[in-house]
Structure 1
Amino acid sequence: MRIAVVGCSHGGLDTIYKTIHRVDADTKKSGELPVELLLCCGDFQALRCNADLYTMKAPTKFRLLRDFHNYYAGRKKAPILTIVVGGNHEAMGHMWECFHGGWLAPNIYFLGYAGCILVDGWLRVAGSSGIHKAENYKAGHFERLPYIPSTLVSAYHTRQYGVERLMNLNNNGPKVDIFMSHDWPLGIERYGDTQALLREKPQFENSIRSNTLGSRPLESLLKTLKPTQWCSGHMHVRFTAEVRHDKGKSGGSECTKFLALSKPGEGRAFLEVIEIPTPEAHQPAKGVRHHTPRLFFDPHWLAIVRAFAPFMPLQAKAMPLPGATQVTALIAEAFAWVQQNIGDNGMKAIQDVQIFTQTAPPTRSFSGEEDTDTTPRSYSNPQTQAFCDMLGIANQID
């Protein structure tokens, strides 16, 4: 499967999709298949209307509506299936509505604050949104509209609740093929050309010397999940690394390829195409040049979400999470429930449950200039209710 990866989007969807179109035009001459999937690694900026600008932490000069609102309003449609994680410059009210994941616009799917899905039923894509700040890591998701300056910042800080759930993906589940994050895993620079990185970003020197460049929880996830590929944004630079883990059961050394990319802009390395071998059973029919992938819920992730649902922290001081032994038993029980109650042995297409619905009023024009409402409001998203109903858990997002 040919997959385009973007670092930070910063609202530049039109540029991103045009770039993929040019890549496809070039590869068509050599007989290669077109890009089938797009992964966006944070700072996506899913701004639906001008009011959403006031739920995004950014300097005033960067607080711009950009391109997404036209995709949300239906004036444009994403030409390729797009999967998104959140960063530290997001419309946090919109993202909170889709805490468990959901369609931000037709053909654009948000993985949630933490999540894992299956593309075409086999490619396992997991992700973590936000960036790490130690002072808020063990807090609950207490931030709500109307945001004040401090909560507008803390709202995008990664929480232990999400990381601990992701840590259990390898608990009887298949290997994660691709992990998406905005932040980098702590210390990842040691596995690539550190000197080249410093020549490009000399301001990183002190962080590298003090071993504070990146996220410690993401480092733990990297060492636990050992995904085939890890993709990130945030630092606005292209950087590659290769992490060799301990030998696996087969005796071979497992390896994670790391790729970080920049943001859209002239001369910036913001988009790159990677290839993940498609299993024989999932190969498109001969002669089919364009394949449109479908998204499925990951049964193991659904079990994790159901098992952890009673412990979801919604106050500034989070309740303790269950210990490892209890977690294992809770997930096993939840997985049996998922297999019996959801789809075909736990496999269910996302589009059969979650259907894109406009919540905030869309802008009335391509420019959005006519829309002057600057008052953010809370909305209930039917996709979140549908997800919770499917899993038999309470909708605590509303």
Structure 2
Amino acid sequence: MGSGAFESQGVRVAVEGCGHGTLNAIYASVKQSAQERGWDGVDLLIIGGDFQAVRNAADLTVMSCPVKYRHIGDFHEYYSGTRQAPYLTVFIGGNHEAASHSWELYYGGWAAPNIYYLGAANVLRLGPIRIAGMSGIWRGHNYRKPHHERLPFNADDVKSFYSIREVDVRKLLLLRTQVDVGLSHDWPRRVEGHGDLDALFRQKPFFRRESMDGSLGSAAAEYVMDRLRPPYWFSAHLHVKFAAVKRYDAPNPGEAVGADVPVVEAAPPVHQDNNPDEIDLDTDDQDVGKPDGSAIDINTGAPETEMGEEVEGTAGQVPDDLRAQLPASFARPAEGAKRIPGQPVPPGIENKEVRFLSLDKCLPRRHFLQLCEIQPFKKDQLSLYPAQASGPRYRLQYDAEWLAITRAFHKFQTFGDATAQVPEDLGEESYLPLIEAERAWVEENIVQKGKLDVPENFEVTAPPYVPGTPEVVQEQPEEYTNPQTAAFCELLGIENLWDASTEERQERRAQGPAMAQHVGRSGGGGRDGRGRERGGGRGGGRGGFRGRGRGQRGRQW
């Protein structure tokens, strides 16, 4: 692979940054960019979060957004069938989403015909390439909480819903084979150090402090990138085009496979060869300005600890002379080496170079779209998954390894209960036998029976928006059982925890949302909601319930 270009003759992909409910403009830009490339279209459009799959005005009540910025967008036209998505579209969630819609599709599913939401975390296959994605952003104090949110939401739920959860990341960190594309809404932590920092800080000077103190980006996404090491990783969130190359050293002789560490160096300059797929590592986006206050929180507080845990102080420490007099049973246990989540990397993951690209949101004169041809890391996948001669070149499919992990973790899944404890991470060695057993089950019951194709089974659940009616309402949406989630659970032979009786839902709605636990600003620093946002998870829960380059800049529409 050349140092500055995507290889050709692969899957034709368009990548867009933040969606912000502007599907019509995004699709129009993809069409024009493809025509300029001499393509008749793309195989896949990836949107990196803040998609805003808003079906109606009620969905806006549970989207993290000031009331004055509530806008219905144009997704509802695709949801209702008024418009048809011209390209297969896959998106992850960000921190501005219709939580009520995302809630129905925890495992992923069609948000509208030909528009697929990856869910909280997922791995899918499109022909020869495997795509892994994670939704949400990093908020340390919510990381180890369960998925406790259920309608009706209080203010805390609206914020906590989009927080990445450790239990979902844990599943991604158990993948043992190579993926080709990684997706996260916010940037993997410290990835900016592998690109042109001076150029980044010229465009976004307020990023400098956060980059220096380590609070820029997501620790969870960093763990996943360092484990999966896909050749390509796309993000959004920070509303700037930025490219980097993260390289990993090969292990020393005798060293455990996967114990290698990332090389912390700036990416080399890219030769200008007029390749339309080139990711320019010396981008100088002229759209420099103040941060968009409606979408990015600029925090001024002290950074939070890595996992949102309290910093242990000196109060209450026992002096050494007194400690020596205590019985042996009072001695501190020996501290083991700190385990880095997802490490060591298994031998099935061989790539040593990750090309990172973040893109802007769809606005005029913004770098929000990149067209590229992506080949799989393992070239034999091209012959195993050839393009079809008619219709879509490739079909979206479930990933057998991911299905096995999903089945293995179902027994640990909690949902809808704020008092629930997320099961302790038992370690990769403990999970492997469980996953191997489930892999055999998946092979027998899904793979051999030809059930890996993602079914085109979209159904409307919430009523679609009626043009001309108010966009700002007070009443929250109803809770629905999505038939796609039910079908997925049936496919895997697991209980659908996202189902409930009409009576239970009526009772919850009558009771109203639980009392919010925090009413003031949270004290933590760092981007991505760890400061300058309302506080943590819901309190007093009811318990007991199951539960976007060289491609095309933005255009004037």
Q: 1:268 aligns with which of 366, 387, 390?
A: 366
Distance in 1 (CA, whole Å) between partners of 2:387 and 2:437 is 36
Partner of 1:42: 49
Aligned match of 1:255: 353
Q: Distance in 1 between matches of 2:426 and 2:84?
A: 43
Secondary structure at the aligned position of 2:186 is classed as coil
The code of the aligned residue for 2:69 comes to: F
SS for the counterpart of 2:233 is strand
Distance 1:135 1:244, change over 3 A: same
Q: Which has the higher contact order (CA 8 A, sep 6+)?
A: 2
Does the Cα contact within 8 Å between 2:400 and 2:447 map onto a contact in 1?
Answer: no
TM-score (norm 2): 0.66
Q: In terms of mean alpha carbon deviation, does 335-344 or 128-137 score higher? A: 335-344
Cα 1:253/1:180, change in 2 over 3 Å: closer
Q: Cα offset for 1:224?
A: 0.8
Q: Does 1:168 align with 2:269?
A: no
Counterpart among 439, 445, 465 of residue 335 in structure 1: 439
- Write the letter of the residue equivalent to 1:78: A
Query: Which structure: greater strand fraction?
Result: 1
Any conservation in 2 of the 1:364–1:370 contact (CA below 8 Å)?
no
Tell me the equivalent position of 1:133: 139
1:152 counterpart (152, 158, 171): 158
Contact map agreement 1:338 1:345 (CA 8 A) in 2: no
Q: Is the 8 A contact 1:311 1:321 kept in 2?
A: no
Alpha-carbon shift at residue 346 of structure 1 (Å): 7.0
**How far is 1:364 from its partner?**
2.9
Mark the CA change 1:199 to 1:76 in structure 2 (over 3 Å): closer, same or farther.
Answer: same
2:67 aligns with 60
**Tell me, what secondary structure is at the counterpart of 1:180?**
strand
TM-aligned CA distance change 1:347 to 1:244, over 3 Å:
farther
Corresponding letter in the other structure for 2:484: Q
**Contact between 1:184 and 1:233, CA under 8 Å: does it hold in 2?**
yes
**Which residue in the other structure is 2:463 paired with?**
361
Q: Is 2:195 the partner of 1:188?
A: no
Alignment of 1:154-233 (within 5 A): 154-170=160-176, 173=177, 175-233=178-236
Cα distance in 2 for partners of 1:150, 1:40 equals 26
SS in 1 for 2:175: helix
How far is the alpha carbon of 1:326 from its aligned partner? 2.0
Partner of residue 92, structure 1: 99
Q: Which residue of 1 aligns with 2:285?
A: none
Question: C-alpha displacement at 1:146, in angstroms?
Answer: 0.9
Deviation at 1:291, TM superposition (A): 4.1
Higher helix proportion: 1
* Cα displacement string for residues 166-190 of structure 1 (whole angstroms, at most 9, x for unaligned residues): 01122xx3x1100111011000000
* Aligned-partner Cα distance in 1 for 2:220–2:145: 14
* Structure 1 residue 150, shift from structure 2 partner: 1.0
Query: Could you say what secondary structure the match of 2:352 adopts?
Result: strand
Please give the alpha-carbon distance, in whole angstroms, between the structure 1 residues aligned to 2:222 and 2:20. Answer: 25
User: Percent same amino acid at aligned positions?
Assistant: 41
Structure number with bigger Rg: 2
Give, as a single letter, the amino acid of the residue that structure 2 aligns with 1:129: S
Give 2:395's aligned residue: 294
Shift of 1:284: 3.6
Q: 1:79 aligns with which of 86, 89, 103?
A: 86
Q: Summarize the Cα distance change of 1:393–1:4 in structure 2 as closer, same or farther, 3 Å threshold.
A: same
**3-state SS in 2 of match to 1:169:** coil
Q: String of CA shifts for 1:323-370, please: whole Å, max 9, x gaps.
A: 32221011000000000111437761011xx610000011233x5548
Paired residues of 1:299 and 1:346 also in contact (CA < 8 A): no
- Asked if structure 2 preserves the Cα contact closer than 8 Å seen for 1:2 and 1:33, the reply is no
Deviation at 1:244, TM superposition (A): 0.7
The 2-side partners of 1:323 and 1:192 are apart by: 33
1:311 matched to 2:447: no
Distance 1:387 1:291 in 2: 23
Kept after mapping to 2: 8 A contact 1:246/1:253: no
Q: Distance in 1 between matches of 2:362 and 2:434?
A: 43
CA contact (8 A) 2:60 2:472 kept: no
2:245 pairs with one of 223, 242, 258: 242
Query: 1:180-216, CA deviations, whole angstroms, 9 ceiling, x for partnerless residues?
Result: 1101100000000011111111111110110110011
Specify whether residues 375 and 138 from structure 1 end up closer, same or farther in structure 2 by C-alpha distance, changes over 3 A only: closer
5+ residue gaps, structure 2, are 1-10, 252-346, 377-381, 500-557
1:9 and 2:15 aligned: no
What is the deviation of 1:134? Answer: 0.9
Per-residue CA deviation, residues 51-103 of structure 1 (Å, 9 max, x unaligned), is: 10101011223211011000000000100000010000000010010000000
2:246 aligned with 1:142: no
SS of 1:190's partner is helix
Q: What TM-score do the two structures reach when normalised by structure 1?
A: 0.92
Q: Is the 8 A contact 2:67 2:472 kept in 1?
A: no
Q: How many residues align?
A: 386
Q: Is the 8 A contact 2:130 2:179 kept in 1?
A: yes
Letter in 2 for 1:55: V
Alignment root-mean-square deviation, CA? 2.2
- Structure 1: how far apart are the matches of 2:162 and 2:351? 35
CA distance in 2, matches of 1:105, 1:305: 24
SS at match of 1:273: strand
| Residue identity opposite 1:330 in structure 2 | L
Question: Relative to 1, partners in 2 of residues 1:161 and 1:346: Cα closer, same or farther, differing over 3 Å?
Answer: farther
**Gaps in structure 1 of 5+ consecutive residues:** none
